[in-house]
A and B are shown apart, each in its own frame.
Chain A
Amino acid sequence: AQSVTQPDIHITVSEGASLELRCNYSYGATPYLFWYVQSPGQGLQLLLKYFSGDTLVQGIKGFEAEFKRSQSSFNLRKPSVHWSDAAEYFCAVGPPSGGGADGLTFGKGTHLIIQP
């Protein structure tokens, strides 16, 4: 069965500093990979996704993520964080093809705190 591990429950970063959120997955094939952000009391917003092709994907709000097959990782990065980036971040995996149950499996999330 597929699984997603986000090893960091909380991360604190100073405003303007760089950020990397870790995500490791376990899946039988190349999965469909996502990063979502959730502000308190809100739904999920898609930051970026990887399906195939270039392993470095660009997303919204200045985020990027790199798929590393050898490490089964899909870490999220941002060169300079803003106070508005404080939120919960979820990494998720899903099967690349449709049909049947292709709901996503989510990691437990990483809570990002921005220090002034």
Chain B
Amino acid sequence: GAVVSQHPSRVICKSGTSVKIECRSLDFQATTMFWYRQFPKQSLMLMATSNEGSKATYEQGVEKDKFLINHASLTLSTLTVTSAHPEDSSFYICSARDWGQGAGNTIYFGEGSWLTVV
């Protein structure tokens, strides 16, 4: 079935550096992908909607200059955490909806990426 893949699954970076997380739809095209953030033992919070070929739409309270989103192709969206700080440490998950025929409009999630900023 359709799969959404994230890379890296775990990353440790130094405070002040930037880190990029990739989200790929492996066997379907995704004009829209979504980025979520999950703090330990908490629920997922939608950060932004990634739109292929246009600017991302950010949820209220999410800094667009800090969390850069690029959706350069129909199968790839990237989230770059710029000038990372320890409070950015979290579990980041992406999702994409498969609109293809027979897909049932299912939303698939990536495996998630653990970011630790030291």
Q: Which residues of A contact B (CB under 8 A)?
A: 32, 34, 36, 41-46, 49, 51, 90, 94, 98, 100-109
Among the listed A43, A51, A108, which residue makes an inter-chain contact with B109, where contact means beta carbons less than 8 Å apart?
A: A43
B13 part of interface (Cβ distance < 8 Å): no
A109 in contact with B43 given A98-B32, A101-B49 (CB within 8 Å): yes
Is A103 a contact of B34 with CB atoms below 8 Å? yes
A-side contacts of B43, CB under 8 Å: 90, 106-109
- Distance between Cα atoms of A108 and B114 in the complex (Å): 19
Is B97 a contact of A102 with CB atoms below 8 Å? yes
B72 part of interface (Cβ distance < 8 Å): no
**A34 nearest in chain B by CB position:** B107
Contacting residues of chain B (6-54) with chain A, CB-CB under 8 angstroms = 6, 32, 34, 36, 42-46, 49
A103 in contact with B106 given A43-B6, A43-B111, A98-B97 (CB within 8 Å): no
Is B44 a contact of A98 with CB atoms below 8 Å? no
- Distance between Cα atoms of A108 and B42 in the complex (Å): 6
**B112 nearest in chain A by CB position:** A43
Q: Which residues of B contact A (CB under 8 A)?
A: 6, 32, 34, 36, 42-46, 49, 57, 59, 93, 95, 97, 99, 104-112, 114
**B57 nearest in chain A by CB position:** A101
B-side contacts of A34, CB under 8 Å: 107
Q: Which 4 A-B pairs have the closest CB atoms?
A: A43-B111, A103-B46, A44-B109, A43-B112
Q: List 19 A-B contacts (CB under 8 A).
A: A34-B107, A36-B109, A42-B112, A43-B6, A43-B112, A44-B109, A44-B112, A49-B106, A49-B107, A90-B44, A101-B57, A102-B97, A103-B36, A103-B49, A104-B34, A104-B107, A106-B44, A106-B45, A107-B43
* A-B contacts besides A34-B107, A43-B112, 6 pairs, CB < 8 Å: A43-B109, A46-B107, A100-B49, A101-B57, A103-B46, A109-B43
- Distance between Cα atoms of A23 and B59 in the complex (Å): 24
- Distance between Cα atoms of A101 and B35 in the complex (Å): 11
The distance from the CB of B61 to the nearest CB of chain A, in whole angstroms, is 14
The distance from the CB of A80 to the nearest CB of chain B, in whole angstroms, is 26
A-side contacts of B104, CB under 8 Å: 49, 51
